[in-house]
Amino acid sequence: MNQQNLADFIWSVADTLRGDFKQSEFGRIILPFTVLRRLECVLEPTRKQVLQQYAGLKGSQVDLDLVLPSTAKASFYNTSEFSLATVGSTSTRANLEDFIAKFSANARQVFEHFAFDGWLTKLENANLLYLVTQKFATIDLHPNVISNHEMGLVFEHLIRKFAESANDTAGEFFTPRDVVRLVTTLVFSSDHEALNGEGVVRTVYDCAAGTGGFLSSAIEQVAEWNPSARLIPYAQELNPETYAISVADKLIQGYDTKNIKLGNTLSNDLLPQEQFDYCLANPPFGVKWEKVQKQVQDEQKNLGFGGRFGAGLPRVGDGSLLFLMHLLSKRKPVAQGGSRIGIVLSGSPLFNGGAGSGESEIRRWILENDWLEAIIALPNDLFYNTGIGTYVWVLSNHKDASRTGRVQLIDATAMHAPMRKSLGSKRKLLSEEQIAEIARLHDGFVEVAAAKIFNTTDFGYRRITVERPLRLRFAVTTENLAAYRDTKGAEHVDAFASLLERGGHFDDLLNFLKAAKVKKLGKGAQKAVFTCFGTKCPEAEPIKDADGKLLPDADLRENENVPLNRDINDYFKCEVLPHVPDAWIDETKRDEKDGQIGIVGYEINFNRYFYQYLPPRKLVDIDADLKSVEAEIAALLNEVTA
């Protein structure tokens, strides 16, 4: 029985729950029961020995956590006399609670996070507890029947079905395994010491772990490439139920689950002092972070670059870049071997936000520190809950010498295979051959049609402000004189009244005011004069202030993005002045960090680099196709009417 069929079989137990429970509640019962049965099956081969040793140690001062795991040949144990098959039809809940309560603490917490005791009570009240328990007791989830990898897929399939029934988003909880395989391949493949050395130990971290599938696949892949290497997993997850599955999964694999934390990574990093060899993540796409806005802003304000978010904050509507900055805060110093990071993001972190925005400043921080190694554009329809385009970012603070100061972009949007059966929004997959091809493009680091190489500065620009002079004609009418009189800050109303029904160039107005011995107009009055009496006129003479400087026309103000590797004066002379010869650069708009003219911004526009022009079809060909279709329609109509 493959994992999907097994998952379907387990889910069929939900038929027992219909009528007594809402469909959206099925998963809250089925998931913990599945975990419970899996843990029971893992412990079954040593169950008798554990109970014998426990009986001998009962009442002693021996710490059972130091003795029984070795007897159980697992990182957890159970000392209950009951099992799912023997809880009995009477006192079922009490016996089942005894079975759960006598797991070691590291396994017992799993059911606490599922809030399982409450669901047992509800099942008992519906007279379904014994029936459901017996159904799960017959399912064979022994590790020699279904591997840890397959069990992880079963959990993911169940969560997807649970999310569908609850109208939830399963994609928040796990990443498709083909995407995981691509990310781990890209991240691990350059670490030759870990892949080829004897007894090498590395740490791997996921800040949005879900069910822990990313970590499990990473562990399996390194073991596949080098059985003597060992990955130690660390993680944090927000959702209690998926956290519980992740803990159970790592328990079964024999890992210390104290490294798996429950909580919001952005507001409360529960592994604050830790640094890791590898970081992997697929944070939720486009999720607002307003719930933790105060904590994040306080950290940035109080700690700056001493915390995680010193580079800047993205808009509240998408917290993806916060997760990326968090992962970068976990990098090891280069002297200790450095770190490699693989993170899956949507397209918005590539280009959202103009120069000076939080998003642009985060990209600037990453690129100017030369941490970005490669970005791979993935096909649409790879994920269970969204069909949008996604990208894998590969980052490292110990890039290969050939990659120093450079970034590789790979367009893998055409590399995919169709699914035999769609799973939610997932209609495509990455085959092993396609993953290998993408990895070859990455490792080859040469320019081809699907892979391009850029300097980090190629993504940067300076946003300069281009001004053009204010050109006005004036006219004094009864209506605009009244408007001027009512304007706050209006001065010398009588002088303007003497110009009633007169007009001309604005210099004429200024000359009249001088002749009338009107003192210099204040800023408020000058603005009111421009607004009430002035009319835009391209042929009028430019207006100057009292110091002889041209006044800018705010309506004609524009911004130009000048590539970082180009002189702004040369750009202005070649690209702007030929079109607007009266323009000038506002030199007061300067970058806060380097003090130079223009605000620095960074964006990575994939479409610009990989766009290929396809000429439209010839009209003759289109016309021929239309005539052919018309003929087919006419033939069909003749058949109907004959």
DSSP assignment string, 411-457: E-TT--EEEEEEETTEEEE--HHHHHHHHHHHHH---BTTEEEEEGG
Over residues 71-110, the pLDDT tens digits come to 999 999 999 999 999 999 889 999 999 999 999 999 999 9
Q: How far apart are CA 342 and CA 328, in angstroms?
A: 11
On whether residue 602 sits in a domain, the answer given is no
- The CATH number linked to 307 is 3.40.50.150
For range 359-380, the mean pLDDT: 96
On whether residue 576 sits in a domain, the answer given is no
| Percentage, residues of the chain above pLDDT 90 | 59
Q: Are 407 and 395 contacting, i.e. CB atoms less than 8 angstroms apart?
A: no
Question: Do residues 110 and 187 share a domain?
Answer: no
Question: Do residues 212 and 283 share a domain?
Answer: yes
> Which of the four pLDDT bands, split at 50, 70 and 90, describes residue 357?
very high
Residue 504: other Cβ atoms inside 10 A: 14
Question: Do residues 332 and 429 share a domain?
Answer: yes
**How crowded is the C-beta side of 582, counted as CA atoms within 13 Å?**
16
Q: How far apart are CA 169 and CA 383, in angstroms?
A: 11
For range 602-623, the mean pLDDT: 87
Worst-scoring range by mean pLDDT, 158-162, 556-560, 578-582?
158-162
On whether residue 568 sits in a domain, the answer given is no
Q: What is the pLDDT of residue 8?
A: 75
Interacting residues of 568 by C-beta distance below 8 A, sequence separation 6+: 462, 464, 562, 585, 597, 598
On whether residue 640 sits in a domain, the answer given is no
Question: Do residues 96 and 178 share a domain?
Answer: no
Q: Are 586 and 598 contacting, i.e. CB atoms less than 8 angstroms apart?
A: no
Question: Do residues 532 and 425 share a domain?
Answer: no
Q: Are 113 and 240 contacting, i.e. CB atoms less than 8 angstroms apart?
A: yes
On whether residue 299 sits in a domain, the answer given is yes
Question: Do residues 523 and 387 share a domain?
Answer: no
Of the chain, the end-to-end C-alpha distance in Å amounts to 56
- Beta strand pairing call for 230-237 and 260-262: parallel
Question: Do residues 478 and 448 share a domain?
Answer: no
- Residues found in the chain: 642
Question: Do residues 389 and 481 share a domain?
Answer: no
Q: What is the pLDDT of residue 170?
A: 44
Residue 9: other Cβ atoms inside 10 A: 13
- Cα 506 versus chain centre, distance: 55
For range 542-547, the mean pLDDT: 79
Three-class HEC string of 361-403 = HHHHHHHHCCCEEEEEECCCCCCCCCCCCEEEEEEECCCCHHH
On whether residue 157 sits in a domain, the answer given is no
> How many structural domains are present in the chain?
3
Worst-scoring range by mean pLDDT, 402-406, 600-604, 608-612, 613-617?
613-617
Residue 381 dihedral angles phi and psi, to the nearest 5°: 60, 35
Distances (CA, A) of 116 to 49, 122, 186, 238, 239: 28, 10, 39, 18, 15
Q: How far apart are CA 377 and CA 214, in angstroms?
A: 19
Give the CA angle between residues 434, 339, 212 to the nearest 5°: 65
Q: Which residue among 502, 522, 554 closes a domain? A: 554
Chain mean pLDDT for the chain: 89
Question: Do residues 400 and 540 share a domain?
Answer: no
On whether residue 301 sits in a domain, the answer given is yes
Question: Do residues 67 and 204 share a domain?
Answer: no
For range 480-485, the mean pLDDT: 84
Residue of 387, 255, 425, 354 whose CA lies nearest to 598: 354
- Beta strand pairing call for 460-467 and 451-455: unpaired
Q: What is the pLDDT of residue 150?
A: 84
Residue 210: other Cβ atoms inside 10 A: 28
Over residues 135-147, the pLDDT tens digits come to 999 888 998 888 8
Give the neighbor-by-neighbor strand order of the sheet with 201-206: 260-262, 230-237, 201-206, 278-281, 340-346, 390-396, 372-377, 406-411, 451-455
Q: How far apart are CA 34 and CA 139, in angstroms?
A: 9
For range 226-242, the mean pLDDT: 91
Q: How far apart are CA 364 and CA 370, in angstroms?
A: 10
Q: How far apart are CA 576 and CA 559, in angstroms?
A: 11
Q: Are 270 and 251 contacting, i.e. CB atoms less than 8 angstroms apart?
A: no
Q: How far apart are CA 119 and CA 132, in angstroms?
A: 12
Question: Do residues 184 and 314 share a domain?
Answer: yes
Residue 423 has pLDDT above 90, yes or no: no
Long-range contacts of 503-509 (CB under 8 A, 24+ apart): 503/473, 503/474, 503/475, 503/476, 504/473, 504/474, 505/473, 505/474, 505/540, 505/541, 506/472, 506/473, 506/474, 506/534, 506/540, 506/541, 506/543, 507/541, 508/474, 509/474, 509/533
Q: Which domain holds residue 514?
A: 469-554
Evaluated on CA atoms 239, 242, 248, 251, the torsion sign reads negative
Worst-scoring range by mean pLDDT, 157-171, 422-436, 513-527?
157-171
Residue of 386, 115, 123, 134 whose CA lies nearest to 243: 115
pTM over the 0.75 mark? yes
Over residues 142-183, the pLDDT tens digits come to 988 888 888 887 887 777 777 666 555 544 556 888 999 999
Q: Which residue among 418, 442, 462 closes a domain? A: 462
Question: Do residues 203 and 127 share a domain?
Answer: no
Interacting residues of 77 by C-beta distance below 8 A, sequence separation 6+: 43, 50, 64, 68, 69, 71, 103, 104, 107
Q: What is the pLDDT of residue 594?
A: 92
Q: Are 155 and 245 contacting, i.e. CB atoms less than 8 angstroms apart?
A: yes
- Cα 42 versus chain centre, distance: 35
Interacting residues of 139 by C-beta distance below 8 A, sequence separation 6+: 6, 9, 10, 37
On whether residue 401 sits in a domain, the answer given is yes
